[in-house]
Amino acid sequence: MKIEPIASDSMGTRSMATYIETGDVKVLIDPGVALGPRRYGLSPHPLEYQKLEEDWKLIKSLAERSDVLVVTHYHYDHHSPEEPEIYEGKLVLLKHPTQNINLSQKRRASHFLEKLGELPESIEYCDGRSFAFGETELVFSKPVYHGTNPRLGYVTEVAICDGEECFVFSSDVEGPSIDEQADFILRQNPSIVYIDGPMSYMLGYRYAQASLDKSAENLVKILEETRVKTLVLDHHLLRDLEWKQKLSRVFEVAEKLGKSVMSAAQFAGKEELMLEAKRKVLYEKFPVE
Ligand SMILES: [Zn+2]
Ligand SMILES: [Zn+2]
């Protein structure tokens, strides 16, 4: 199984876009990319806009190569209603647009579906369902919280298993601090797992220490109780320059077990840029008129 993170916070933009190829099917999960609107009181640096453009081009080229496009929820770093052509002729598997969803995402979903129109070959709502392609199975979780509560809505986690490898993609769980979010991952017994780590850059005001502790506990559990070899952590977590210190316990346990923990950039063999977390430095190094 080929697993290729395409764009991510560690690589310089807000995204979890990931391309997976098995002997049976080519899948692109969450074809979207965005930038953090404000950080340290600063708007995105021109270098971030440049990376955004590059990433979007790459996402479009992989969408073209894919048979199946998955959208786990309706935030703009996970889908874009602007260029619906990328969904043309594809099987499109979407988070349910009206059930287990908050108002803002419900509106975005309805707009997105309008834009998609008749372009896809077909559209299926994927919450809690499974889809088979030869030996490969795509399994979707029931909707789980986007983060620590339902205020931001729900996401679907995804497992892609081909009989040998099993890859699990958590989407925006910001942890996982909630047992239901972790349970899906544990049940799939992945060999590789890609998780949206805790939102530790907002620790103390929009993310509680208790949620960080619970996330670390669940990540340790995933390392200890599944066959996972590689744990990829990114997205909300990689907006924090001190992400490794915040999850030092997870790294310790992984080392003891002979397993690896890394960012999506490292996993993809790309440069770790973390442009949003380094925005202040970017403006100092490359001043903008
Ligand atoms: Zn989101
Ligand atoms: Zn996101």
Q: What is the CATH classification number for the domain harbouring 25?
A: 3.60.15.10
Ligand 2 centroid to residue 76 C-alpha, Å: 8
Ligand 1 centroid to residue 258 C-alpha, Å: 32
Ligand 1 centroid to residue 91 C-alpha, Å: 22
Ligand 2 centroid to residue 103 C-alpha, Å: 17
State the residue range of the domain holding 192: 2-285
Using 70 as the pLDDT threshold, list the residues of the chain that sit under it: none
Those residues whose C-beta lies under 8 Å from the C-beta of residue 213, and which sit 6 or more positions away, are none
Q: How far is residue 78's CA from residue 196's CA, in Å, rounded to a whole number? A: 12
Ligand 1 centroid to residue 163 C-alpha, Å: 30
Q: Which one of the ligands is nearest to 35 CA?
A: 2
pLDDT at 289: 85
Tell me how many degrees the CA angle 103-105-110 measures, rounded to the nearest 5.
95
Q: How many domains does the chain have?
A: 1
Ligand 1 centroid to residue 16 C-alpha, Å: 10
Ligand 1 centroid to residue 43 C-alpha, Å: 20
Q: Which one of the ligands is nearest to 29 CA?
A: 2
pLDDT at 274: 98
Q: How far is residue 159's CA from residue 170's CA, in Å, rounded to a whole number? A: 9
pLDDT at 29: 99
Ligand 2 centroid to residue 11 C-alpha, Å: 14
Ligand 1 centroid to residue 73 C-alpha, Å: 7
Q: How far is residue 162's CA from residue 22's CA, in Å, rounded to a whole number? A: 7
Task: Enter the pTM of the model.
Answer: 0.98
Those residues whose C-beta lies under 8 Å from the C-beta of residue 137, and which sit 6 or more positions away, are 130, 131, 159, 160, 161, 162
Ligand 1 centroid to residue 165 C-alpha, Å: 26
Which residue has 């609107």 as its token pair?
A: 37
Q: Which one of the ligands is nearest to 147 CA?
A: 1
Q: Which one of the ligands is nearest to 73 CA?
A: 1
Q: Which one of the ligands is nearest to 36 CA?
A: 2
- CB-based contact 14:234 (threshold 8 Å): no
